[in-house]
């Protein structure tokens, strides 16, 4: 029999329904994979007892015909989703010991639909990062071997300082690493500037950031509330479609969640692309783009043309302003959201001679360097005298970015094809130590989508010259995730199956 | 625009984050790198453009003004680093 962890989410779902596999067998296989893969540091908390108890209940429901859409499927949960009674810290020290007494809406919907929880996944602290190196719990390692390195070298590096091993991307690095290492069948993730799509692209997995408002943000640790959105990372487009259907939906507890029916996304797969128009934005052909990224993009264009879509060149003139504007809007919202961490109601507290000193010492000790830097920039751009010059101007630019997309869609474009990232995965410790902006450039193709509130999906599109996964991004109309799934599925079919790395990391 | 060291200290205090004297020059460099990065935005023509307030146009929903969730005092203070008799305890703020 094939190893249960080699099945995709859709295959495992069908095997469970056909009773050729039990939820307990599947969960035990994942619990074992999770334990053997600890050195990758993808999980910050494992909940094997809970997983097996949930699997047992799933088996009962599968037997009596009351199984839900995700019945018995073992998932990893990003550490920023509140999970009742279980470690929830957004991988920050400032939430030290925090165990919420409530469950996030998104995770409660997954459990409602029968999913099994394996544990909490590592991430960049407060989702601020593109390499998962800012986590309080240390960096996550990608299961993909670095170019020209073999398994033996990698095992030695993994036991040592991890230098030279690859990052899984971020901020949902634990999610991407665990999915591509087959340590969960799918994972929740979140995306403020690219945190679902960039790690998916780096690890040969699929990730979708739905339209702003598609998923409830209730019970998710907030970073930048006008940009944050939940979404899944999984092995295939179909797997993401299945997960998103359970995650999405209206929630009265989040006023920005949209009261609209959730379609059966899986049904969109296999729809013909005839009559669909795909836009290719010229501004994404950035200066110094590597030939392998150009080739990836050109291949994507050819595949969609072959599948019957009409390809048109489009212009999104304000593309270049999106990343700098993001680095005003996101830190500003973060400085406001993270003001709640004061050492009084939850988490870490450092003693001080008065309340101001207690706040300052607590926040100094509790936040990591990247988070402190962003809070300070956010505080500065919101401070008296600078608010109009920075914050209001950035919000006006955001209007222009969104208008660019609206004009493209009004001209008949159904979806937009771009590369997901400017490069393949890089090494741990390689970027951003001298200049934070170097790391920020990772999100150059993804951040526009958050600024405009649109849905975006990253799907594997090929390999770099050195054999590392590269991803293509599709950007859709608001609430038209179905078109993204159908077009991404066509790319997936044309690009061929991703051979996930062999488990060199197992102990 | 760029920040001087006094501004770095002022921002840190506004953000309630303690900084040591040794950290100030390094932070100044990082903050100025970010401000240099966003500088290009000043060249964008934003005349007559409305600042974005909601990325997806939607009407603010209203709800009935009633208690919806009564967790109870035990639960409210359960995660507090220091609490006493269902109160959060802080250093003395009034003399």
B87 three-state secondary structure: strand
Domain of residue A227, residue span: 4-272+427-495
Judge whether residue A420 has pLDDT over 90: yes
Using CB atoms within 10 A of its CB, is residue A192 exposed (0-12), middle (13-18) or buried (19+)? buried
Domain boundaries, chain B: 5-43
What ipTM score was computed for the predicted complex, to two decimals? 0.95
Question: What pLDDT sits at residue B59?
Answer: 83
The reply to whether A188 falls in a domain is yes
The reply to whether A456 falls in a domain is yes
Judge whether residue A479 has pLDDT over 60: yes
Q: Do B90 and A211 touch (CB under 8 A)?
A: no
pLDDT digits (tens, 9 = 90+) for B17-58: 999 999 999 999 999 999 999 999 999 999 999 999 999 988
Which long-range contacts (C-beta less than 8 Å, at least 24 apart) are formed by A29-33? A29/A3, A29/A4, A29/A5, A30/A4, A30/A5, A30/A74, A30/A118, A30/A183, A30/A184, A30/A185, A31/A74, A31/A118, A33/A5, A33/A181, A33/A182, A33/A183, A33/A503
Q: Considering CB atoms only, which of B31, B37, B60 is closest to A376?
A: B31
Cα-only R_g, chain B: 22
Contact A178, A76 (CB under 8 A): yes
Judge whether residue A157 has pLDDT over 70: yes
Tell me the average pLDDT of chain A: 97
Mean pLDDT of all residues in A388-416: 97
Mean pLDDT of all residues in A23-28: 98
| CATH label of the domain that carries residue A113 | 3.90.1300.10
B37 three-state secondary structure: helix
The whole model's pTM is what? 0.97
The reply to whether A311 falls in a domain is no
Judge whether residue A2 has pLDDT over 80: no
Judge whether residue A1 has pLDDT over 60: no
Structure confidence at residue B95 as a pLDDT band (50, 70, 90):
confident
Answer whether A453 touches B (CB < 8 Å): yes
Q: Do B41 and A393 touch (CB under 8 A)?
A: yes
Q: Do B31 and A380 touch (CB under 8 A)?
A: yes
Count of structural domains within chain A:
1
How much of chain A is helix, strand and coil, in % rounded to 5?
45, 15, 45
Judge whether residue A273 has pLDDT over 60: yes
Answer whether A484 touches B (CB < 8 Å): no
Question: What pLDDT sits at residue A383?
Answer: 94
- All residues of chain A having their beta carbon less than 8 Å from the beta carbon of residue B75 are 101
CB–CB contacts below 8 A, A to B: 163
Q: Which helix (H) or strand (E) holds A189?
A: strand A186-191
Backbone angles phi, psi at A242, to 5 degrees: -65, -45
The reply to whether A416 falls in a domain is no
Judge whether residue A440 has pLDDT over 80: yes
pLDDT digits (tens, 9 = 90+) for A168-206: 999 999 999 999 999 999 999 999 999 999 999 999 999
User: Mutation test of the interface with chain A: which of B1, B31, B78, B91, choosing the one with the most A Cβ atoms within 10 A?
Assistant: B91
pLDDT digits (tens, 9 = 90+) for A350-388: 999 999 999 999 999 999 999 999 999 999 999 989 999
Active site residues of A: 78, 171, 195
CA distance B17 to chain A (A): 4
Q: Which residues of A451-464 are buried (b: 16+ CB within 10 A; e: fewer)?
A: bbbbbbbbbbbbbb
> What are B16's two structure tokens?
């309630």
Residues 308-347 of chain A whose Cβ lies under 8 A from any Cβ of chain B: 318, 320-321, 324-325, 327-328, 335, 339, 342-347
Question: What pLDDT sits at residue A288?
Answer: 85
The separation between CA A110 and the C-alpha centre of its own chain, rounded to angstroms, equals 17
Please spell the DSSP secondary structure of A276-337, one letter per residue: -EEEEEGGGS-TT--HHHHHHHHHHHHHHHHTT-EEEEE--TTHHHHHHHHHHHHHHHHHHH
- Residue A335, beta-bridge partner list: none
The reply to whether A377 falls in a domain is no
């Amino acid at each position: 029999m094939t190893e249960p962890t080699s099945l995709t989410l859709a295959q495992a779902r069908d095997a469970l329904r056909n009773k050729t596999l039990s939820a307990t067998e599947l969960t035990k296989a994942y619990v074992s994979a999770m334990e053997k893969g600890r050195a990758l540091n993808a999980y910050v908390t494992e909940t094997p007892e809970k997983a097996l108890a949930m699997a047992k209940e799933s088996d009962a429901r599968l037997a009596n015909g009351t199984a839900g859409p995700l019945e018995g499927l073992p998932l990893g949960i990003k550490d920023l989703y509140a999970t009742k009674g279980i470690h929830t810290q957004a991988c920050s020290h400032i939430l030290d010991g925090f165990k919420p007494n409530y469950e996030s809406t998104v995770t409660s919907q997954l459990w409602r639909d029968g999913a099994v929880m394996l544990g909490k996944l590592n991430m960049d602290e407060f989702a601020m990062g593109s390499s998962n190196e800012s986590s309080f719990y240390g960096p996550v390692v990608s299961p993909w071997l670095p170019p020209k390195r073999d398994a033996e070298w990698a095992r030695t590096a993994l036991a040592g300082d991890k230098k030279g091993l690859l990052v899984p991307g971020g901020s949902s690095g634990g999610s991407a690493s665990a999915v591509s290492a087959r340590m969960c069948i799918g994972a929740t993730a979140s995306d403020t500037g690219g945190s679902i799509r960039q790690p998916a692209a780096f690890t040969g997995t699929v990730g979708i950031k739905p339209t702003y408002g598609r998923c409830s943000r209730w019970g998710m640790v907030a970073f930048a509330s006008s940009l944050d959105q939940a979404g899944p990372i999984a092995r295939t487009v179909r797997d993401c479609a299945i997960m998103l259907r359970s995650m999405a939906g209206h929630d009265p507890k989040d006023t920005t969640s949209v009261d609209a029916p959730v379609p059966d996304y899986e049904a969109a797969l296999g729809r013909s692309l005839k009559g669909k128009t795909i836009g290719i934005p010229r501004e994404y052909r950035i200066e110094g783009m590597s030939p392998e990224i150009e080739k990836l993009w050109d291949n994507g264009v050819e595949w969609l043309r072959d599948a019957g879509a009409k390809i048109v060149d489009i212009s999104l003139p304000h593309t270049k302003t999106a990343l700098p504007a993001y680095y005003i809007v996101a830190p500003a919202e973060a400085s406001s959201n993270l003001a709640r961490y004061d050492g009084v109601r939850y988490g870490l507290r450092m003693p001080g001679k008065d309340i101001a000193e207690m706040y300052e010492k607590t926040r100094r000790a509790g936040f990591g360097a990247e988070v402190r830097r962003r809070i300070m920039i956010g505080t500065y751009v919101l401070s008296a005298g600078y608010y109009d010059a920075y914050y209001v101007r950035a919000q006006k630019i955001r209007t222009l970015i969104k208008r660019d997309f609206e004009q493209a869609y009004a001209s008949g474009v159904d979806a937009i094809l771009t590369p997901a990232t400017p490069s393949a995965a890089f090494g741990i410790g390689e970027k951003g130590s001298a200049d934070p902006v170097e790391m920020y450039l990772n999100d150059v193709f993804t951040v526009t989508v958050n600024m405009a509130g649109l849905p975006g999906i990253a799907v594997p599109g090929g390999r770099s010259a050195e054999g590392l996964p590269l991803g293509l991004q599709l950007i859709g109309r608001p609430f038209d995730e179905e078109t993204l799934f159908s077009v991404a599925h066509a790319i997936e079919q044309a690009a061929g199956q991703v051979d996930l790395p062999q488990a060199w990391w197992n102990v | 625009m760029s920040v001087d060291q006094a501004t770095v200290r002022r921002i840190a205090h506004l953000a309630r984050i303690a900084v040591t004297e040794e950290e100030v020059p390094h932070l100044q460099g990082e903050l100025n790198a970010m401000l240099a990065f966003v500088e290009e935005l000043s060249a964008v023509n934003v005349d007559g453009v409305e600042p974005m307030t909601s990325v997806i146009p939607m009407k603010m929903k209203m709800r009935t003004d009633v208690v919806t969730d009564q967790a109870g005092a035990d639960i409210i203070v359960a995660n507090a680093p220091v609490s006493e008799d269902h109160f959060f305890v802080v250093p003395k703020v009034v003399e």
